[in-house]
Amino acid sequence: MAHPMRRVAVLGSTGSVGTQTLDVIRAFPDKFDVVALSAGKNLGLLAQQIDEFNPEYVLCEDSEALKSLPGRDCGSLEEMATLPEVDVVMVSTVGSAGLLPTVRALEAGKSVALANKEVLIMAGEQVMDASRRFNNQILPVDSEPSAIWQCMLGERDAVRKLIITASGGAFRDRSPTELGNVTPEEALNHPTWSMGRKITIDSATLVNKAFEVIEAHWLFDMPYDKIDVVIHRQSIVHSMIETADGIVKAHLGSPDMRYPIQYALSHPQRVFNPGLKPFDPVETGSLTFEAMDPQLYPCFELAIDVGRRPGTWGAALMGADEAAVEMFLENRIKFTEIPDVIRAVVDQHTPKDSTNLPNLDEVIQTARWASDTARATVVGSSN
Ligand code: MG
C-alpha cells in the first residue's frame, strides 16, 4: 500500500523554490512529510529548516558543518534523490547540480518535481529517456510548463500549438541602445516575479524564455515550430495551448510560485491552500499581449538556435550563460556583452561524434568547459 503521506526530498532547500516548497508543505502537515533536505552554503537557514521539519537526512556543501547538524549525512545529492523513504524529489537546485540527481531519481522509481530547468537544457533527451524507460513522471514546477501541463489534461492528442508567455523582464521598456549601461541591481528588479538571482538575469535577457521553450519541447514532445512566445506584462496568464479546433486554453493566476509547486506535489489531486491569495479577475483588470522585439532580446534566438541542437550543445549553452550571468553580476561584463560571451563559447565548441547520445559525465564536463571558456574569453579580452 502506498504511504499515507507523500514523502519529499528537497534538493536546494534554502533557495527561492526550496523555501517556497517548504512553505507549501508547512500548510499541509498531514499530506507531506519532509524526509531529506539539502542546501549549499546557507547553513543558518538550513538549521532552521531542520529544526522545523525534522528531516531524517541532510546534506550541505560544508562537510565539517554537516557533522554538527542533526540528521543523517546523505553522502551526495544522488543518494538523497534515491532514498527508499522518498516518493517525490523536488529538484530546486540551479545549473548542473540537478542533472545526476534527476536521472538517478527517475531510475529509482521516484517522481521528480523539476524546478532546475537547466537539467533539460543540458540533457533533455537523456532525462526524458530515463523518465520513459522507468515509467516515472517529471512534474513541471516552472510556472509556464506547469500551466501547459494543466491545460493539456485531457487534451494530449488534440494540441496543435503551445503559447508560452513572457513578462519581458526588467528591461522590457528600454530601447536596445540603452541596455549597454544597465546595472546588475536594475536587472535584478523583476517587474512581476520574485525569483533567484540567476533566473532573474536570464529573464532580463530572455534566455530564461528560450530555456522554457526547450523545456516545453522535451516535456510535451512538441516540435519547436509549434511553440510560440508572446510578451504578457502582467504575468497572469502563465501559458496557453491551442487545440485542434482552434480553441485556446489559458491558465490564469497570481504570479506566485507556490501554486505550481503545490500542484507538482499534490498531483493528480488539487488541494486548497488558505495561505495563497485567490485570483480576482476584476482586481487584475486588463491583460495585454505583444509580439517580442528580437532587437531587445538578442539572446533569445541565439539560445534557441544552440539549445535545440543535439548532443552537448545544450550543455555548452548552459555553462556559457551561467558564467556570463555571474560575470555580469560581478560587474565584469556589460549586460549587452552576455550574448557576445555565449557566442564566443559556442564558436569554440566542437562536439564529439553526434550520432551517439553523450553520457551524463560528458554533458557535465561540457558545461564546466563552457563556463571556464566564457571566463577565459573575458579575461583575454580585457588584458
Ligand atoms: Mg518560468
3-state secondary structure the chain: CCCCCEEEEEECCCCHHHHHHHHHHHHCCCCEEEEEEECCCCHHHHHHHHHHHCCCEEECCCHHHHHHCCCEECCCHHHHHCCCCCCEEEECCCHHHHHHHHHHHHHCCCEEEECCCHHHHHHHHHHHHHHHHCCCCEEECCHHHHHHHHHHCCCHHHEEEEEEEECCCCCCCCCHHHHHHCCHHHHCCCCCCCCCHHHHHHHHHCHHHHHHHHHHHHHHCCCHHHEEEEECCCCCEEEEEEECCCCEEEEECCCCCHHHHHHHHHCCCCCCCCCCCCCCHHHHCCCCCECCCCCCCHHHHHHHHHHCCCCCHHHHHHHHHHHHHHHHHCCCCCHHHHHHHHHHHHHHCCCCCCCCCCCHHHHHHHHHHHHHHHHHHHHHHHC
pLDDT at position 93 is: 95
Which amino acid would we find at residue 333?
I
Q: Which three cell numbers stand for residue 13?
A: 532547500
pLDDT at position 383 is: 44
How many other CB atoms are there within 10 angstroms of residue 150's CB atom?
20
What is the pLDDT averaged over residues 190-198? 87
pTM listed for this prediction: 0.95
Give the distance (Å) from ligand 1 centre to CA of residue 99: 18
Give the distance (Å) from ligand 1 centre to CA of residue 216: 11
Pairwise pLDDT comparison (71 vs 342), residue with the higher score: 342
Locus of grid cell 503521506: 5
Q: Which residues contact 252 (CB under 8 A, 6 or more apart)?
A: 236, 237, 238, 279, 281
- Whether 367 contacts 122, CB under 8 Å: yes
Give the distance (Å) from ligand 1 centre to CA of residue 152: 17
Is the pLDDT at 382 greater than 60? The verdict is: no
Distance CA 42, CA 51 (A): 14
Give the distance (Å) from ligand 1 centre to CA of residue 143: 5
Give the distance (Å) from ligand 1 centre to CA of residue 305: 19
Is the pLDDT at 1 greater than 60? The verdict is: no
pLDDT at position 156 is: 87
Give the distance (Å) from ligand 1 centre to CA of residue 65: 33
Give the distance (Å) from ligand 1 centre to CA of residue 358: 27
Q: Which three cell numbers stand for residue 123?
A: 540533457
Give the distance (Å) from ligand 1 centre to CA of residue 2: 32
From residue 359, give the alpha-carbon distance in Å to each of 142, 214, 321.
25, 19, 21
Is the pLDDT at 351 greater than 70? The verdict is: yes
What is the pLDDT averaged over residues 357-382? 92
Give the distance (Å) from ligand 1 centre to CA of residue 167: 10
Is the pLDDT at 381 greater than 80? The verdict is: no
What pLDDT digit, counting tens, does each position of 18-65 carry? 999 999 999 999 999 999 999 999 999 999 999 999 999 999 998 888
pLDDT at position 354 is: 64
Is the pLDDT at 138 greater than 70? The verdict is: yes
pLDDT at position 2 is: 67
Tell which phi-psi region holds residue 109, choosing left (phi > 0), alpha (psi between -120 and 50) or beta: left
169-207 burial code (b ≥16 CB/10 A, e <16): bbbbeeeeeebeebebeebbebbbbebbbbbbbbbbbbb
Give the distance (Å) from ligand 1 centre to CA of residue 135: 25
Is the pLDDT at 127 greater than 80? The verdict is: yes
Give the distance (Å) from ligand 1 centre to CA of residue 13: 18
Give the distance (Å) from ligand 1 centre to CA of residue 230: 13
pLDDT at position 244 is: 97
Is the pLDDT at 352 greater than 90? The verdict is: no
Residue 343's pLDDT band, with cuts at 50, 70 and 90, is very high
Give the distance (Å) from ligand 1 centre to CA of residue 67: 36
Residue 162 main-chain phi, psi, to 5 deg: -110, 140
Give the distance (Å) from ligand 1 centre to CA of residue 204: 12
| Angle, alpha carbons 273-261-201 (nearest 5°) | 130
Give the distance (Å) from ligand 1 centre to CA of residue 242: 19
Is the pLDDT at 118 greater than 50? The verdict is: yes
| Structural domains present in the chain | 6-141 (3.40.50.720), 143-256+275-302 (no CATH), 309-383 (1.10.1740.10)
Give the distance (Å) from ligand 1 centre to CA of residue 209: 7
Give the distance (Å) from ligand 1 centre to CA of residue 66: 32
Is the pLDDT at 380 greater than 70? The verdict is: no
Give the distance (Å) from ligand 1 centre to CA of residue 142: 5
How many other CB atoms are there within 10 angstroms of residue 359's CB atom?
11
Residue 366's pLDDT band, with cuts at 50, 70 and 90, is very high
pLDDT at position 4 is: 81
Average pLDDT of the chain? 95
Residue 91 main-chain phi, psi, to 5 deg: -95, 90
What pLDDT digit, counting tens, does each position of 202-232 carry? 999 999 999 999 999 999 999 999 999 999 9
Give the distance (Å) from ligand 1 centre to CA of residue 256: 11
Give the distance (Å) from ligand 1 centre to CA of residue 180: 25
Give the distance (Å) from ligand 1 centre to CA of residue 53: 27
Give the distance (Å) from ligand 1 centre to CA of residue 98: 17
What pLDDT digit, counting tens, does each position of 304-341 carry? 999 999 999 999 999 999 999 999 999 999 999 999 99
Q: Which three cell numbers stand for residue 223?
A: 516540435
